[in-house]
Chain A
């Protein structure tokens, strides 16, 4: 099996107790058929379901509670090197980052690493306690770093928090991370598999673009309707600067957009375009010219809240 493009890497950050492990277990249940490598950097009473990872042919790799950027940076990097060099690489790498690991630094490894591509940085916060932590002289810079790094902030445990605490948490997140999408939930009930790039056999580059599969959640709270999605096909080369403007102006109901376009200046060259929250990244796609790799189809998938604009409206905005 020929390895396709770089492997997408996502980071789930937040303090212990924010719901990271619950969310990760939901992802593993929800995205059946996807082989994850899960790198765990935080240990609480709740364990990541290693069997679930293994069932899907993936791996769980553990680092203990700490900062992944300093002394542990080397071992994180060699772990990622090993995963990227495998004959049979995982479809997606998820790093569960401890409260003190800066999610941005981990995601930056994927930006620079030729075998990886940065996907999503999602930070969970406990809606009940986040404002208290943000006032704690020991922790305030740490929670700010987390928020600044996030493409998406999930206010979790909203069932346990008072209206006032939720409102304060919302205001804090909006202030610290104006470019991050903000989601609110309880029990980490987020259909995260619809937000990550899972839409190919190996990495993001191989095979046709398709909308994320409807989530298969094996429990009563079916949140398949949590997000809407739309596909827009964009075969013609685009003016990247204009595209940038259009994407930056999309309404906040669009949480995530991802896909490939070719630019007018050099139509042979593909670009990966990702909008995560309000953060836009356009980067040249490194494997466009590789023999034996099916070039990804030009187009974009949009994922948003149920009130997001329909596909026709998006197509019009994009001028396709």
Chain B
């Protein structure tokens, strides 16, 4: 007996299939798409059930977030204190906090609602780059509590502010001679901790290990809810050292039919010697399932632009900051890449600055010359500063780019004024150049760094508008159609999943984003505001309305 067929009727279906870009019906069997068209086109498949619940909705392929982190799931157990309002994985919007005072007041309310114990108060998303004025101090956070540890993690995740309780527990005093412990005019530590040692030991002193948190089942569920609310059906976790407990938890959650997300974790390729990593990931790739894809490798070449740790070519940072940091010895990149490449594994490489991009392209060219393999699909992640010449090389080498379009909005003004200056800021995340030169590209949020919301990311690439309303590089804007393709087929291509995901056509998995409006009809400005009703994953319907309060 043939499995049953469901035909979903929608107001409109954007298929991303160039031969038939629009449809009204899609037929699904066994979690896969039989075809898209009108009812008559699809009835030829035989007996079916007609599902009309999307009759006033617009369907598009389930969106694919090609660069985010499962930390998106763990951060929401803590208090969001960002400058912009942001919706959590429970569907509830957290308010924007526009000053240090508002952050402190918010945390005081949190404190007031907590029990008698001495549990820590942890907050995240704080971004003083938007405040012109004094920095947050331990005295501010002592007003939240003088009894409980209070930690405020910055949006970059590289700086934290703590109260006096944490300073005491971590044994940090005026005498502590450690880099990154900021001190006030009186020589006393002021509660701002930069850099790995101070930050991690302060968190350690209150018993928090964020890598452990990330791999927990509750975190993975919140990650999936966040994705579902945004119309995302496949998301990467870029990257993860993939310890056994995390693998077990990933298998358990994705094995649950109620779990609304396919996950593509990338292995942190520097977390062990490459030869060991290659063996581990070859073996793990055999354990992939339809909702858990193992085998991708990620390497990190440099730091971030707004943190002034990206590696830049001449003339360096606009505000004369020192050049950034290598996270891997530039002379060792080729050898490391070669090990994973030779094992048949695909490698994504984080490069932010143009010097990092160029150095990695040199390494890829060496590796491909030494070990030719068709369609290796090396992908540069972020690749924010790549110059046109780099894109030409990428096109020749078959290298993809996953560009950080959200940066244009959130830090575009800072890039003009502080990091890059006007001309280089205008070429950041050059989607227009990638499109013109035929470099396969995706766009991303890097959630939880910025919100997981591909329609917003698409809006950024289409409008290139900064917070202040400045347009950053008009020539690099792309069309709405191209932006929607970047968050579906484009991202699928970078993950080598374009044969089964990213468009609505025969044979692909029945993954849809269900929208309340047509993103092609709302115009470039309205793209970010298109409401997401829910998703369909492998033919199963996941309404956002089911989430509210359900976490």
Neighbouring A residues of B49 by C-beta, 8 Å: none
Can you give 23 A-B contacts (C-beta < 8 A)? A16-B331, A16-B332, A62-B273, A63-B272, A66-B327, A66-B329, A68-B196, A73-B196, A75-B211, A75-B241, A99-B329, A100-B325, A100-B329, A104-B179, A105-B196, A106-B197, A108-B178, A108-B180, A111-B177, A112-B171, A112-B198, A138-B359, A283-B175
Count chain A CB atoms within 10 A of each CB in B180, B197, B268, B313 and give the residue with the most: B197
Q: Is the CB of B327 within 8 A of A108?
A: no
Q: Is the CB of B197 within 8 A of A74?
A: no
Q: Beta-carbon contacts of B504-527 to A below 8 Å, as 1s and 0s?
A: 000000000000000000000000
Identity of the chain B residue whose Cβ is nearest the Cβ of A139 in the assembled complex: B330
Pairwise interchain contact A62-B272, C-beta atoms closer than 8 A: yes
- Tell me if B328 and A100 are in contact (CB < 8 A): yes
Report yes or no: B200 in contact with A108, Cβ–Cβ below 8 A: no
A65 touches B322 (CB 8 A): no
Which residue of the partner chain A has the closest CB to B325?
A67
Q: Does A83 touch B at the CB level, under 8 Å?
A: no
The reply on A113 being an interface residue by CB < 8 A is yes
Q: Are A111 and B326 in contact (CB under 8 A)?
A: no
Residues of A within 8 A of B198 (CB): 108, 112
Chain A positions within 8 Å of B269 at CB level: 64
A98 at the interface (CB under 8 A from B): yes
**Provided the pairs A69-B195, A74-B209, A111-B177 are in contact, do residues A64 and B171 lie with their beta carbons within 8 angstroms?**
no
Interface string of B188-205 (1 = CB under 8 A from A): 000000011110110010
Output the nearest chain B residue to A65 by Cβ-Cβ distance. B332
Total number of B residues with any Cβ neighbor in A under 8 Å: 48
Residue contact A141 to B322, C-beta cutoff 8 Å: yes
A142 beta carbon closer than 8 Å to chain B: yes
By Cβ-Cβ distance, the 10 closest A-B pairs, closest first, are A73-B196, A108-B197, A66-B270, A67-B327, A108-B178, A100-B326, A69-B196, A112-B201, A109-B197, A99-B329
A111 near B196 with CB under 8 A, answer no
One of A75, A138, A283 near B355 (C-beta < 8 A): A138
Asked if B470 is at the interface (CB within 8 A of a chain A CB), the reply is no
Q: Check A160 for interface membership: any CB of B closer than 8 A.
A: no
Query: A164 — which chain B residues lie within 8 A by C-beta?
Result: none
User: Distance in Å from the Cβ of B488 to the closest Cβ of chain A?
Assistant: 29
Task: Across the interface, name the chain A residue whose C-beta is closest to B243.
Answer: A75
Check A64–B197 contact: CB distance below 8 A: no
- Which residues of chain B from 408 to 453 have any CB-CB distance to chain A below 8 Å in the complex? none
Q: Which residue of B lies closest to A62 (CB)?
A: B273
Determine if B300 and A70 form an interchain contact, defined as CB atoms under 8 angstroms apart.
Answer: yes
Bound form: Cα–Cα A137–B272 in Å: 28
A112 touches B211 (CB 8 A): no
Are A72 and B329 in contact, CB atoms less than 8 angstroms apart? no
Q: For chain B residues 252-311, which have a beta carbon within 8 Å of chain A? A: 268-274, 277, 300, 303, 311
A285 within 8 Å of B by Cβ?
A: no
Q: For residues 242 through 282 of chain A, which have their beta carbon under 8 Å from a beta carbon of chain B?
A: 281
B175 touches A105 (CB 8 A): no
Contacting pair A111 B322 (CB below 8 A): no
Q: Interface on chain A toward B: helix, strand, loop, or mixed SS?
A: loop
- Chain B residues whose CB sits within 8 angstroms of the CB of A114 once the complex forms: 171
- CA of A104 to CA of B270, assembled, Å: 20
Find chain A residues with CB under 8 A from B396 CB: none
Report Cα–Cα, A111/B172, bound state, in Å.
Answer: 10
**B132 CB–A CB distance under 8 Å:** no
Q: How far is the CB of A288 from chain B (nearest CB, A)?
A: 15
- Does A225 belong to the interface (CB within 8 Å)? no
- Which residues of chain A come closer than 8 Å to B204, judged between CB atoms? 77, 81
Q: Please determine whether A43 and B328 come into contact, CB atoms closer than 8 angstroms.
A: no
Q: Is the CB of A112 within 8 A of B328?
A: no
Contact A64 B200 (CB under 8 A): no
Is B323 interfacial (CB-CB < 8 Å)? yes
Tell whether A15 is near chain B: CB-to-CB under 8 Å. yes
**Residues on A facing B (Cβ under 8 Å):** 15-16, 43, 62-75, 77-78, 81, 98-100, 102, 104-106, 108-109, 111-114, 137-139, 141-142, 281, 283
Contacting residue for A281 out of B177, B209, B328, CB 8 A: B177
**Partner among A64, A65, A106, A113 whose Cβ is within 8 Å of the Cβ of B201:** A113
Are A65 and B177 within 8 A (Cβ)? no
Chain B residue numbers with a CB within 8 Å of A104 are 179
Known contacts A137-B314, A141-B323, then 10 further A-B pairs from the complex at CB < 8 Å, ordered by chain A residue = A62-B273, A65-B270, A65-B329, A69-B195, A69-B325, A100-B326, A105-B195, A108-B178, A139-B330, A141-B325
Check B170 for interface membership: any CB of A closer than 8 A.
yes
CB distance from A145 to the nearest CB of B (A): 8
Determine if B468 is an interface residue (Cβ-Cβ < 8 Å): no
- A111, closest chain B residue (CB): B178
B94 at the interface (CB under 8 A from A): no
In the assembly, what is the distance between CA of A108 and CA of B181, in Å? 11
Q: Is the CB of A64 within 8 A of B336?
A: yes
Q: Is B210 at the interface (CB under 8 A from chain A)? A: yes
Residues of B within 8 A of A71 (CB): 239, 268, 270-271, 300, 327
Across-interface contacts of A15 in B (CB, < 8 A) = 329
Report the separation of the CA atoms of residues A62 and B270 in the bound assembly, to the nearest whole angstrom.
11
Contact residue among B201, B211, B326, B359 (Cβ-Cβ distance under 8 Å from A109): B201
Is the CB of B369 closer than 8 A to any CB of chain A? no
Q: A68 contacts which chain B residues (CB < 8 A)?
A: 196
Given A43-B273, A64-B271, A65-B270, are A98 and B329 also a contact pair (CB < 8 Å)? yes
Q: Please tell me if B176 contacts chain A, counting CB pairs below 8 Å.
A: yes
A69 to B201, CA, bound (A): 13
Structural contact, A112 and B272, CB atoms closer than 8 A: no
Q: Is the CB–CB distance between B330 and A65 below 8 Å?
A: no
Residues on A with C-beta less than 8 A from B322 are: 141
Decide: A74 and B200 in contact? CB cutoff 8 A: yes
Q: Distance in Å from the Cβ of A112 to the closest Cβ of chain B?
A: 4
Tell me the complex Cα distance, A74–B393, Å: 35
Instruction: Name the distance in Å between B307's Cβ and chain A's nearest Cβ.
Output: 10
Given A66-B327, A70-B300, A137-B314: A105 and B200 interface contact (C-beta under 8 Å): no
**Are B273 and A112 neighbours in the complex by a CB distance under 8 Å?**
no
Distance of A4 from chain B, by nearest CB (Å): 19
C-alpha gap A124/B195 in the complex (Å): 24
- The one of A64, A112, A137 in contact with B274, judged by C-beta atoms closer than 8 angstroms, is A64
Within 8 A of A (CB), among B303-360: 303, 311, 313-314, 322-332, 336, 355, 359
Chain B residues contacting A74 (CB-CB under 8 Å) are 200, 209-211
The residue on B at minimum CB distance from A144 is B322
Complex formed: what's the CA distance from A62 to B326 in Å?
20
Partner of B178, one of A67, A112, A137: A112
Q: Give CA–CA (A62, B331) in the complex, Å.
A: 20
Contacts of B359 in A (CB 8 A): 138
